[in-house]
């Protein structure tokens, strides 16, 4: 038997239960609130704490039926089981990925989002709780927008304690280093905030918070100059309006279909005429076309070859940055490209047709379920919240065509937050609270225990991986800045103990031993040679171990080549130099070092050909040009006939 939502779901919760729920909610909130203030949490030091805390929050929610047997039956978010299959596919694919260590982090992200989706849906059930849950997120985004406006007024490029990259100019970014990622958060919240303003049931405080959010985020969104976010917010608002109009009547829906394009055109024309940033940013697209997209289109042109090589399973989660270099042809400069600036293409590349198909199926099925819920809801609160959340999802999906916003840790967590809280409210209004009875109670106990173990395991992996990252970073600083070799070695070994999958401490130890081999001195020349060989051998072992963990890390390959040089094995060194240069064909340093090694081995003709190839491919510095002239003179002199001796 179900109990109506309006009566509070039965007995009032005890004080301990309220404290328990409060702690769980605070932990679940961290990725989308505190994570914003860690520069978008794009690096391990930013997202590892968020994973750990969010897993702990989900741990408490899944453990709730074990602690409080009266916990009602769970509410399943739309499309949840398809996304659960997708998460399982991601987890099972970790050992098969091109870089299992990177794939494990991505698996943690997917499972963390899945667990958070379930947790938010369950925790939104209490009457009026949804008001302050949504209010907290709007307040966090409003404060970030206010910080962005302060940056703009002061003309500052500083984001907290770090300067924003020069390529973004004066674009507002709040606490994110990239303006596009900051703008995506605002765009996904715009439809929901606008709905709340006109929803009397939201109450005065939440409606006031929504007005404040819109007032400070609208100029911040404009100043971000993110064309993808502008398009996303337009698409999201239109979808929300269409859903609410359809819910009202077919006549209103048809009217909205006609009126919205005219309204969008009018607003767009006004913005073009009155807002300089709109004219500048949209004008770039009209005038420069492909060039206005930056690296996006050249990268996308490289993708067919990658997809053909692994069309079904892909290269594995997080592998794009490592697997892309051999396929890089249309981008001429050598930089590290972590993401593809198109989430759907990146999904295909990393997870293949299976992963992309599951993602689209989950979105489609979940979207259809949500639309049906909006249209058939008896209570307008749940329908209105779902319409606003659907608009936020649409804004993010549009943005994802041109960016990698789902890889920015706070952003998908904010989307899950608003979507699943909205679904939890709708569910409780429409279906009420259902107790768990009979054999279902035992089944729920088993399922809860399994989920608790999974969340606990995820929290431990996030903690151990984060600590390994921290110790490795400390070792890098000790080795490269303080020249504290003994301290660096201790730090690297601690990093390995915390996470044996992490290849970077082995790379650091390899470089450390290689430098020690280079500088090793002993009055006894035989002892000196023995010491150099021993240290170089240790460097070789660490580089080989790093390549066992990540075969795509050319820094380890290059270090291995240097170790062979120290050991006097130039043939094996040349093989590794060639491997690095062939894999990263746009890497100037690797290409030139390979050619220099050829010259040092006395292979002048091969070295000249390699240097000329560098210049021909546009991957050369003055080093290549100087070597070309010197080698041409050398070979010409060797080819010249010997002078005839005087009679």
pLDDT at 70 over 60: yes
DSSP 159: E
Q: What pLDDT is stored for residue 335 in this prediction? A: 64
Q: Which residues contact 257 (CB under 8 A, 6 or more apart)?
A: 242
Q: What pLDDT is stored for residue 7 in this prediction? A: 35
Lowest mean pLDDT among 110-119, 123-132, 330-339, 637-646: 637-646
pLDDT at 391 over 90: yes
Q: What pLDDT is stored for residue 468 in this prediction? A: 96
pLDDT at 532 over 60: yes
The DSSP code sequence of 257-293 is: HHHHHHHHHHHHHHHHHH-HHHHHHHHHHHHHGGGGG
pLDDT category at 642 given cuts 50, 70, 90 is low
- Which residues lie across from 162 on neighbouring strands? 159
Q: How high is the mean pLDDT of the chain?
A: 90
- Give me the half-sphere count of Cα atoms (radius 13 Å) on the Cβ side of residue 140: 23
- pLDDT > 90: what percent of the chain? 64
Give the pTM. 0.92
Model confidence over 297-330: pLDDT tens digits? 888 999 999 999 999 999 999 999 999 999 988 8
Section 469-491 average pLDDT: 93
Q: Which residues contact 230 (CB under 8 A, 6 or more apart)?
A: 183, 187, 221, 278
pLDDT at 464 over 50: yes
pLDDT at 644 over 70: no
Model confidence over 250-279: pLDDT tens digits? 999 999 999 999 999 999 999 999 999 888
pLDDT category at 646 given cuts 50, 70, 90 is low
> Would you say 63 and 24 are in contact if contact means Cβ atoms under 8 Å apart?
no
Q: What pLDDT is stored for residue 5 in this prediction? A: 42
pLDDT at 4 over 50: no
pLDDT at 410 over 50: yes
The DSSP code sequence of 552-573 is: T-HHHHHHHHHHHHHTT-HHHH
Q: Where are the alpha helices (DSSP H) in 30-79?
A: 44-67
Q: What pLDDT is stored for residue 10 in this prediction? A: 47
Distance, CA of 371 to CA of 377 (rounded, Å): 10
Q: What pLDDT is stored for residue 21 in this prediction? A: 92
Q: Containing H/E element for 163?
A: strand 162-163
pLDDT category at 6 given cuts 50, 70, 90 is very low
Other beta carbons within 10 Å of 537: 14
Model confidence over 414-456: pLDDT tens digits? 999 999 999 999 998 887 777 766 677 888 889 999 999 999 9
> Would you say 555 and 325 are in contact if contact means Cβ atoms under 8 Å apart?
no
> Would you say 179 and 159 are in contact if contact means Cβ atoms under 8 Å apart?
no
Indicate the length of the chain as a whole number.
Answer: 647
Section 448-469 average pLDDT: 96
pLDDT category at 220 given cuts 50, 70, 90 is very high
> Would you say 498 and 535 are in contact if contact means Cβ atoms under 8 Å apart?
no
CA trace torsion 602, 608, 611, 616 (10° rounding): -160
CA distances from 144 to 27, 42, 106, 187 (A): 20, 17, 27, 13
pLDDT at 575 over 90: yes
């Amino acid at each position: 038997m179900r109990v109506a939502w309006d009566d509070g779901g039965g007995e009032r919760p005890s004080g301990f239960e309220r404290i328990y729920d409060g702690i769980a909610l605070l932990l679940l909130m961290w990725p989308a609130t505190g994570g914003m203030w860690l520069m978008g949490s794009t690096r391990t030091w930013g997202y590892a704490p968020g994973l750990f805390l969010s897993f702990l929050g989900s741990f408490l929610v899944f453990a709730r039926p074990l602690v409080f047997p009266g916990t009602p039956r769970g509410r399943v978010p739309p499309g949840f089981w398809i996304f659960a299959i997708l998460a399982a596919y991601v987890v099972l694919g970790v050992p098969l990925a091109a870089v299992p260590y990177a794939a494990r982090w991505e698996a943690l992200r997917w499972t963390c989002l899945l667990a958070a989706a379930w947790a938010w849906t369950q925790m939104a059930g209490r009457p009026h709780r949804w008001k302050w849950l949504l209010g907290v997120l709007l307040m966090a985004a409003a404060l970030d927008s206010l910080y962005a406006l302060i940056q703009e007024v002061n003309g500052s490029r500083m984001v907290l304690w770090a300067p924003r990259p020069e390529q973004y100019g004066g674009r507002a970014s709040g606490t994110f280093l990239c303006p596009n990622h900051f703008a995506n958060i605002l765009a996904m919240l715009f439809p929901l905030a606008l709905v709340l303003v006109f929803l009397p049931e939201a109450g005065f405080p939440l409606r006031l918070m929504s007005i404040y959010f819109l007032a400070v985020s609208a100029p911040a969104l404009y100043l971000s100059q993110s064309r993808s976010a502008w398009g996303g917010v337009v698409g999201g608002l239109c979808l929300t309006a269409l859903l609410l109009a359809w819910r009202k009547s077919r006549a209103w829906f048809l009217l909205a279909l006609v009126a919205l394009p005219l309204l969008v055109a009018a607003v767009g024309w006004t913005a073009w005429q009155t807002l300089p940033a709109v004219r500048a940013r949209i004008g770039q697209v009209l005038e420069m076309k492909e060039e206005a997209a930056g690296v996006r289109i050249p990268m996308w042109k490289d993708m067919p070859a990658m997809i053909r090589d692994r069309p079904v399973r892909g290269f594995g989660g997080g592998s794009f940055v490592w697997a892309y270099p051999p396929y890089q042809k249309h981008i001429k400069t050598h930089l590290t490209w972590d993401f593809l600036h198109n989430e759907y293409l990146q999904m295909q590349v990393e997870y293949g047709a299976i992963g992309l198909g599951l993602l689209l199926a989950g979105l489609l099925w979940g979207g259809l379920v949500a639309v049906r819920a909006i249209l058939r809801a008896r209570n307008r609160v749940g329908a209105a919240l779902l319409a606003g959340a659907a608009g936020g999802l649409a804004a993010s999906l549009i943005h994802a065509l041109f960016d990698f916003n789902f890889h920015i840790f706070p952003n998908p967590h904010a989307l899950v937050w608003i979507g699943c809280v909205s679904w939890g409210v709708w569910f409780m209004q429409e279906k009420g609270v259902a107790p768990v009875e009979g054999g279902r109670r035992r089944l729920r106990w088993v399922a809860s225990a399994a989920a608790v173990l999974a969340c606990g395991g995820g929290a431990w992996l996030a903690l151990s991986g984060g600590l390994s990252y921290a110790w490795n970073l400390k070792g890098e600083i000790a080795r490269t800045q303080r020249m504290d070799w003994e301290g660096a070695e201790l730090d690297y070994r601690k990093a390995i103990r915390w996470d044996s999958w992490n290849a970077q401490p082995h790379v650091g130890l390899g470089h450390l031993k290689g430098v020690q081999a280079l500088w090793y001195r002993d009055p006894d020349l035989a002892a000196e040679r023995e010491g150099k060989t021993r240290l170089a051998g240790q460097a070789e072992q660490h580089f080989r171990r790093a390549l066992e963990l990540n075969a795509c890390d050319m820094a380890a390959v290059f270090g291995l080549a240097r170790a062979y040089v120290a050991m006097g094995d130039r043939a094996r060194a040349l093989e590794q130099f060639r491997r690095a240069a062939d894999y990263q064909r746009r890497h100037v340093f690797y290409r030139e070092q390979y050619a220099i090694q050829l010259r040092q081995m006395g292979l002048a003709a091969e070295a000249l050909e390699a240097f000329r190839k560098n210049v021909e491919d546009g991957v050369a510095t003055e080093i290549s040009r100087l070597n070309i002239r010197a080698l041409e003179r050398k070979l010409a002199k060797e080819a010249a006939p010997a002078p005839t001796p005087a009679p």
